[in-house]
Amino acid sequence: MSLDEATPLPAPPVTARLGDRGGFSALRWPVYANHAAISPPSDAVRAAMAQAAQAYATEGVGAFPACHAQRLRLKGRLAHVFGGAPADYALVLNTSAGLMAVAQCVAWRPGDRVVVFQGEFPTNVTPWQVAARTFGLEVVTLPLAPLAAPGGADLAALEAALKAGVRLVALSAVQFQTGLRAPVAAISALCRAHGALLSVDGIQAAGVAPLHAPDCDFLAIGGHKWLMGPEGAGVLYIHPDQVGRLVPRVAGWLSHEEAVDFLFEPHKLRYDKPIKRRADFLEGGAPNSVGYAGLEVALMAIEHLGVPAIFAHVNAWLDALAPTVEALGFTTHRLPDADRRSGILAALPPEGLSAGALAAGLAERGIAVTTPDGRLRFSPHWPNALAEVSTVAAALEETVKALRG
């Protein structure tokens, strides 16, 4: 039996329901609205990870075929949810690992220009800066504000840059500070019209907002936010038109074709086997089998509920909270048109109040939020009940009143 014919670890039945956190028995927060930071793993996710760990504890190396088969099944689920084919996905540690691999493996030419955007999370800037120093590239920084222009994203500055010559555009599908959802499909069409690659950081979108992987040349997603999996289990989608054009500067022993046959047959140990021309050439060493078992089960809930239904549920929660936030004098970044919204409501506090003090006050009242770059950020997910909103609104009013003395 080959590895690809092994029976995977069994997956549990899916019981997820919108607004029901019954499957999160360990979560101590009465209201957890912080999924844009780290999602708490469900009971089912923790059980799947324990099952994978137990398989290794019981079988040792004998557990590897079943865990390998489980990872192949995970890729099938990724393709079903986000598009493309299972072979287009590589399993990587996190968003950073995926973007670093892309930045090192593009067949750069000295003088190539890379476009990044002001205000991006450093994950989507640092790898391109390193590549620029390594390969002699130029990094061009564009403002984000035009993407939030009233009436629709203004892509004029990006188009001007593309006309001047750009090799790659690096973009977040959703901005971590503001929750702005970029028009990925429109930017993709613009990039392709001008012969530029599009690399997307999808961690703040995947699992909560519409995202179609084949719109991207490269799409990196960490599993510990809106996918609701564990840390250290992420994915990288590579468009099939691009995988053969990459230079395998990041490769390990499992990156070769027929990489493991020498472990089972004599006289097969060779160092001249070709590197795979598939996305999984980036899976160069021992994988995080336990983490990917958890990620698959987390993704099953999203697959079962459907991203459109999750998006509608989360935005109904945020719609109910937004009037209170605005009435208290916060400046929200949430745009009126739904196709530029995400799972995030981010707001600048009114004068005299700090986001940190507000978050601390909410924490004292049992509500978990976070404060990226001075914003108060609410990010519920499918387990959050709409009935929570009145509790959050009242707690925010109490906190503001208390801080104002």
Tens-place pLDDT, residues 215-228: 999 999 999 999 99
Residues 78-134 pLDDT 10s? 999 999 999 999 999 999 999 999 999 999 999 999 999 999 999 999 999 999 999
For residue 327, pLDDT over 50 is answered with yes
Query: Phi and psi of 310, rounded to 5°?
Result: -65, -45
Please state the domain extents for the chain: 66-303, 307-404
How confident is the model over 22-35, as pLDDT tens digits?
999 999 999 999 99
In CATH terms, 66-303 corresponds, of 3.30.1600.10, 3.20.20.100, 3.40.640.10, 2.60.40.10, to: 3.40.640.10
- Facing residues of 219 across strands? 200, 237
CA 12 to chain centre: 24
pLDDT band at 287 (very low <50, low <70, confident <90, very high): very high
- Predicted TM-score (pTM) of this structure: 0.97
Q: Two tokens at 71?
A: 């990872």
Q: What is the DSSP letter of 375?
A: -
pLDDT at 2: 60
What pLDDT does 241 receive?
Answer: 97
Per-residue confidence band for 9, with pLDDT thresholds at 50, 70 and 90? confident
**pLDDT tens-digit profile of 289-298?**
999 999 999 9
CA–CA gap between residue 365 and residue 145 (Å, rounded): 34
- Retrieve residue 237's tokens: 């989608």
- DSSP per-residue string spanning 25-45: TT---SEE-BTTT-PPPPHHH
To which residue do tokens 């489980």 refer? 70
User: Would you place residue 6 in the very low, low, confident or very high pLDDT band (cuts 50, 70, 90)?
Assistant: confident
Mean local confidence (pLDDT), 11-15: 90
Structure tokens at 60: 């040792």
Fold exhibited by the domain 307-404: Aspartate Aminotransferase, domain 1 (3.90.1150)
Render pLDDT for 168-218 as a digit per residue (tens, 0 to 9): 999 999 999 999 999 999 999 999 999 999 999 999 999 999 999 999 999
355-404 residue pLDDT tens: 999 999 999 999 999 999 999 999 999 999 999 999 999 999 999 999 99
Supply the mean pLDDT for the chain: 96
- Report the alpha-carbon distance of residue 196 to residue 33 in Å, rounded: 37
pLDDT at 1 > cutoff 50: no
Beta-sheet pairing, 168-172 with 197-201: parallel
For the cut 60, the answer to whether the pLDDT of residue 49 exceeds it is yes
